[in-house]
């Protein structure tokens, strides 16, 4: 069966510091991968998605970037965090073929920028 | 373009009462529709999905949803609410024709259960 991991679970960072959040998927190959942000009391905002290694599409211009160095690894980064980067970050995957319409989510990372 | 509207950002019901969470969608192509549930400080869990088979879809935890094309609705129901059902619920539609099967989420409905 497939599983998706995110770490860290919680992170407190000062403004201006760098960020690296990691997401890995097990039990599948060539998944589509997604990063979402959920601000307090609000819905989900798609930040980035990737259909393959090195292929990143950005949905919203912002202070963040994403990379996919390996097939089942997706990284969210920032060089200098802003207060507005605080939120709950969710990684998700979907299959490349059958069942590709369904996304499955990781446990999330709670980021607080102070 | 596809979109999803969830009616009511907060719904409160008594334990044992009917749960009804409303969702309307807009899509120019046959949609795939989903309901996800999110418990506090957790990721989203798939409750059920409609993929053009039976219009009445049964999911986990006793939930079900009915696809009504004429009303462009996909409302979520549960006959008898349990305290453990308290969570945030998201309706979503899949844009399968995009390059990466993106999902469009509604703004969510917070379900509270009164003892």
- 114 residues of chain A, pLDDT tens digit each: 889 999 999 999 999 999 999 999 999 999 999 999 998 777 899 999 999 999 999 988 788 999 999 999 999 999 999 999 999 999 999 987 656 778 999 999 999 999
Return the pLDDT at A99: 63
* A80 Cα to chain B: minimum distance (Å): 25
Q: Please answer whether residues A36 and A26 qualify as being in contact, where contact means their C-beta atoms are separated by less than 8 angstroms.
A: no
* B44 Cα to chain A: minimum distance (Å): 6
A103, A108, A111, best to mutate vs chain B, most B CBs in 10 Å: A103
B6, B100, B105, B106, best to mutate vs chain A, most A CBs in 10 Å: B100
Q: Which residues contact B97 (CB under 8 A, 6 or more apart)?
A: B29
CB contact under 8 A, A105 and B44: yes
Exposed e or buried b per residue across B61-94, where buried means at least 16 C-beta atoms within 10 angstroms of its C-beta: eebbbebeeeeebbbbebeebeeebbbbbbbbbb
């Amino acid at each position: 069966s497939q599983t998706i991991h995110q770490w860290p679970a919680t992170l407190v960072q000062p403004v201006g510091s760098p960020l690296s959040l990691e997401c890995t998927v097990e039990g599948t190959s060539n998944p589509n991968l997604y990063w979402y942000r959920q601000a307090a009391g609000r819905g989900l905002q798609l930040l980035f998605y990737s259909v393959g290694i090195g292929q990143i599409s950005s949905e919203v211009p912002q202070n963040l970037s994403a990379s996919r160095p390996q097939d089942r690894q997706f990284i969210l980064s920032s060089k200098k965090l802003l207060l507005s980067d605080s939120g709950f970050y969710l990684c998700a995957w979907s299959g490349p073929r059958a069942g590709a319409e369904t996304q499955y989510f990781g446990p999330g990372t709670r980021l607080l920028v102070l | 373009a596809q979109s999803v509207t969830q009616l009511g950002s907060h719904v409160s019901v008594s334990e044992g009462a009917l749960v009804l969470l409303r969702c309307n969608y807009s899509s120019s192509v046959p949609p795939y529709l989903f309901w996800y549930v999110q418990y506090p400080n957790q990721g989203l869990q798939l409750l059920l999905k409609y993929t053009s088979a039976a219009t009445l879809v049964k999911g986990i935890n006793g939930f079900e949803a009915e696809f009504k094309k004429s009303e462009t609705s996909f409302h979520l129901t549960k006959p008898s609410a349990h305290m453990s059902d308290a969570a945030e619920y998201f309706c979503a539609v899949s844009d399968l024709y995009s390059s990466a099967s993106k999902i469009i989420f509604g703004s969510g409905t917070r379900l509270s259960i009164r003892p």
